[in-house]
């Protein structure tokens, strides 16, 4: 992940990203375990279907079996799917740029203290066109 402040870009070390992704995984698992048994059974069915679908669409079928199949076929598939999903999130953070602009906004800060005047999250494209995709505020759409 990168952090850009007033045009200067800083690389966020993986050691700062790992606690974030570990916390996300732990929080999801804790909330899952607190669900009523009926909801957990439905989540297990959905997780099993998702893992089978991911295995089905994978290009490398042998690697997909290792990655998506549970070692113990009676094990709960939800933690496995969550762990895999958080791993994808961690991988995706390599392409995230958090952009902030600072300055003085006298409308919201009459004292004239420096504050954040602009903030957005961008996703770097990896193809030939290296432009950023900026997320539109509160819509989830890109511009």
- Interacting residues of 78 by C-beta distance below 8 A, sequence separation 6+: 29, 32, 40, 43, 44, 47
Write phi, then psi, for 14 (nearest 5 degrees): -55, -30
Query: What token pair was written down for 103?
Result: 């300055």
Predicted local confidence at residue 8, as pLDDT: 92
Give residue-wise pLDDT tens across range 4-18: 999 899 999 989 999
Is residue 119 scored above 60 in pLDDT? yes
Write phi, then psi, for 98 (nearest 5 degrees): -95, 120
Is residue 50 scored above 80 in pLDDT? yes
Predicted local confidence at residue 111, as pLDDT: 78
């Amino acid at each position: 992940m990168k952090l850009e402040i007033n045009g200067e870009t800083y690389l966020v070390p993986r050691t700062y990203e790992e606690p974030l992704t570990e916390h996300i995984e732990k929080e999801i698992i804790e909330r899952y375990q607190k669900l009523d048994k009926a909801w957990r059974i439905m989540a297990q069915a959905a997780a099993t279907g998702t893992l089978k679908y991911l295995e089905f669409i994978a290009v490398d079928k042998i690697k997909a079996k290792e990655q998506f199949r549970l070692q113990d076929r009676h094990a709960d598939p939800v933690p496995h799917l969550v762990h895999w999903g958080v791993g994808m999130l961690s991988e995706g953070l390599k392409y995230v740029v958090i952009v902030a602009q600072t300055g003085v906004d006298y409308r919201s800060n009459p004292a004239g203290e420096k504050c954040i005047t602009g903030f957005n999250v961008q996703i770097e494209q990896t193809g030939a066109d290296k432009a950023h995709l900026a997320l539109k505020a509160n819509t989830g759409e890109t511009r």
